[in-house]
């Protein structure tokens, strides 16, 4: 059983930072005019994709170094000169200075994300699949993103998801998958691999195919894939108490901790 301690939290937060940095770098290559970039300040990765992108935020605040007022001010400048709001997603295992600085500098809590983990080993017992799952081909990136948009059913994210698919096609750390229901492509999912950790992301099922085991199958297939790639840990984020969290826990994941996202007022 994995222990939800500082060492594990640092490993998970570092991997999520690396995965998002890889996305931002790919986005900059695909769309040079986007201004996508990232920097590291006091061990914290600051990501800018666009002013309304969910990737535009920091990762790992207070996980690797205490946070000072000067550090926080430098991070704020990074976002403000690009016209973006300032967001920090913070682990409860971060140095206490992070929470103190956020409260002192006028931030407000915004939303929670539960981080879940499970161990992986080659040949270990992993969930079975109920639906056919296959890897998405590079030329299917546009279709994969459109299917994801249908599943998310959030029109505001449509442009971002389509841009994300084009950027992901340029990355070497991510692999995308489809699940089929009644012979039709009905669900999407991806896995990002860094430093022996598999980050599960991109889970989406079109409304008419829900409740048919597509996400269960995608999760199981990605776990098998990650174990075959030598990963020893799988991780994912979910809304607390959501169907995604319950599905993960049914498949051997445990809650590591719940992060809190902060926004500068």
Question: Can you give the pLDDT at residue 19?
Answer: 96
User: Domain for residue 27, yes or no?
Assistant: yes
Span 29-54, pLDDT tens digits:
988 989 999 999 999 999 999 998 99
Quote the number of domains for the chain.
Answer: 2
Span 214-252, pLDDT tens digits:
888 999 999 999 999 999 999 999 999 998 899 899 889
Q: Are residues 35 and 96 in the same domain?
A: yes
Report the predicted TM-score, pTM, of the whole model to 2 decimal places: 0.91
Question: Can you give the pLDDT at residue 200?
Answer: 96
- Cα-flanking dihedrals φ and ψ of residue 235, to 5°? -140, 155
Structural domain ending residue among the three candidates 114, 141, 167: 114
Q: Are residues 131 and 105 in the same domain?
A: no
Pick the most confident of 73-87, 109-123, 214-228.
73-87
CATH code of 138's domain: 3.40.630.30
């Amino acid at each position: 059983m994995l222990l939800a301690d500082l060492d594990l939290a640092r490993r998970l937060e570092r991997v999520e930072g690396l995965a998002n940095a890889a996305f931002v770098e790919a986005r900059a290559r695909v769309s040079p005019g986007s201004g996508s970039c990232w920097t590291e300040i006091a061990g914290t990765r600051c990501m800018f994709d666009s002013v309304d992108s969910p990737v535009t935020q920091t990762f790992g605040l207070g996980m690797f170094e205490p946070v000072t007022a000067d550090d926080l001010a430098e991070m704020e400048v990074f976002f403000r000169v690009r016209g973006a709001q300032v967001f920090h997603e913070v682990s409860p295992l971060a140095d206490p200075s992070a929470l103190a600085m956020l409260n002192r500098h006028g931030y407000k809590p915004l939303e929670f994300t539960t981080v879940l983990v499970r161990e992986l080993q080659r040949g270990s017992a992993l969930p079975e699949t109920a639906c056919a799952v296959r890897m998405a081909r590079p030329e299917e990136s546009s279709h994969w993103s459109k299917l994801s948009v249908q599943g998310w059913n959030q029109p505001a994210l449509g442009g971002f998801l389509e841009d994300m698919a084009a950027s992901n096609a340029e990355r070497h750390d991510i692999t995308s998958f489809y699940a089929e229901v009644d012979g039709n492509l009905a669900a999407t999912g991806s896995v990002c691999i860094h430093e022996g950790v598999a980050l599960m992301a991109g889970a989406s099922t079109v409304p008419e195919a829900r409740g048919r085991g597509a996400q269960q199958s995608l999760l199981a297939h990605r776990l098998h894939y990650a174990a075959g790639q030598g990963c020893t840990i799988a991780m994912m984020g979910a809304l607390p108490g959501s169907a995604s969290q319950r599905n993960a826990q049914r498949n051997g994941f445990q809650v590591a901790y719940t992060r809190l996202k902060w926004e500068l007022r």
